[in-house]
Amino acid sequence: MFEELTVGLGDRSYSIRIGEGILAEIGEALQRVRFPRRVAVITNPTVEALYGGELLRHLAAAGYRAETIVIPDGEEFKTLRTLESIYTALIEGGFDRSSGLIALGGGVVGDITGFAAATYLRGIPFVQVPTTLLAQVDSSVGGKTAVNHPLGKNLIGAFYQPRHVHIDVATLTTLPPREFAAGMAEVVKYGVIRDRNFFDWLVGARENLQRLDRQSLVLAVNRSCQIKANVVENDETESSLRAILNYGHTFGHAVEALAGYGHYRHGEAVAIGICVAAAVSCELGLCRAEEVAAIRALLVSFNLPVVPPAFPLEDYLRAMGRDKKVKEGVLRVILNCGIGDCQIRELSDPEPLFTAAIANLSEG
């Protein structure tokens, strides 16, 4: 049994299939979207050892010729150098425009594979097979592809939609607890910015989710993907509405950059960013202190950090100033309105707001 959603983008629409034990159905899913028969599976050593062989068997059984390209594991390898190594492997392997790529792994693998697909031979199709919770509910859906630069996260990339997203929640059983927690930060985000009922459901489902109850996982992933798909359908290239999906990310990206990519998991940094955004929202009267406390408590219950590391505020402001959401020198942030709604706000003088927000979080 599986759930299936559609990201409706005209001739670039694609399906998201979500279920337990559905990796074996990858061949049928690819056939349905007329995916090329020659494929390169891009993954990392950890995921290859767990699922690489199984995926290749399923692909071969469905008549696909697949080869594997293994890239290093970790956010610190989401670079132009790694991207170039993928290009080299594709060129040496004779992959042409009638070939396709499959991203098997987490967000790093998905982002860099998507960018490789967008740019190799000016664009070839790709499919996302995310194996981490964070990738399943966030980075695999929506077509954002990128690599990092030492001065900022995801500054070099393109919008390029996958042909299909294939989500098997059974892969989460091999995910380290820290990685699962990181993914839950993005799940909580959806409830805070878009769906109070979903937020309340997460509060009640915490124990089931933490013990990896499959039905609860499918429900959480399905609702997260549906919220994101609805937003992407209305604003594919982040000209307006889609920016709300960056809730918690502006400060979170600054945490990642200042700490050094890889020190914090992306979702851990986002959890800190969510708490900072909620505290700023409270300073501006957009939400109540008890709502900030509820958001913080839910994140803490999933073993996520909620206090910013002790870097100078000017360093945070400088890092946020390089964020993609800065427009004509003015910082644009996503702020929650209570729980279940949000708004985009321009902050011409962010220093006192962030000073107060960080102080409150550090004391709490």
For this structure, is 238 an active site residue? yes
**DSSP secondary structure, 32-95, as one string:** HTT--SEEEEEE-HHHIIIIIHHHHHHHHHTT-EEEEEE--SSGGG-SHHHHHHHHHHHHHTT-
Q: Which of 122, 314, 327, 363 does the annotation list as catalytic?
A: 122
Residue type, 70: V
For this structure, is 211 an active site residue? no
Backbone angles phi, psi at 155, to 5 degrees: -80, -15
Query: How far is CA 147 from its chain centroid?
Result: 13
For this structure, is 234 an active site residue? no
Task: Find out whether 110 is annotated in a ligand binding site.
Answer: yes
Task: Find out whether 6 is annotated in a ligand binding site.
Answer: no
Q: Which of 20, 48, 179, 186 does the annotation list as catalytic?
A: 186
Task: Find out whether 77 is annotated in a ligand binding site.
Answer: yes
Task: Find out whether 76 is annotated in a ligand binding site.
Answer: yes
For this structure, is 266 an active site residue? yes
For this structure, is 228 an active site residue? yes
Task: Find out whether 327 is annotated in a ligand binding site.
Answer: no
Residue 153: count other Cβ atoms within 10 Å of its Cβ. Answer: 23
Q: Which of 17, 249, 265, 296 does the annotation list as catalytic?
A: 249
For this structure, is 144 an active site residue? yes
For this structure, is 207 an active site residue? no
Task: Find out whether 75 is annotated in a ligand binding site.
Answer: yes
Task: Find out whether 249 is annotated in a ligand binding site.
Answer: yes
Nearest CA among 233, 248, 218 for reference residue 137:
218
SS3 211: coil
CA gap 104, 110 in Å, rounded: 7
For this structure, is 324 an active site residue? no
Task: Find out whether 153 is annotated in a ligand binding site.
Answer: yes
Task: Find out whether 144 is annotated in a ligand binding site.
Answer: yes
Binding residues: 73-78, 107-111, 131-132, 144, 153, 171-174, 186, 249, 266
Active site residues: 122, 144, 186, 228, 238, 242, 246, 249, 253, 266
Binding residues for Zn(2+): 186, 249, 266
Binding residues for NAD(+): 73-78, 107-111, 131-132, 144, 153, 171-174
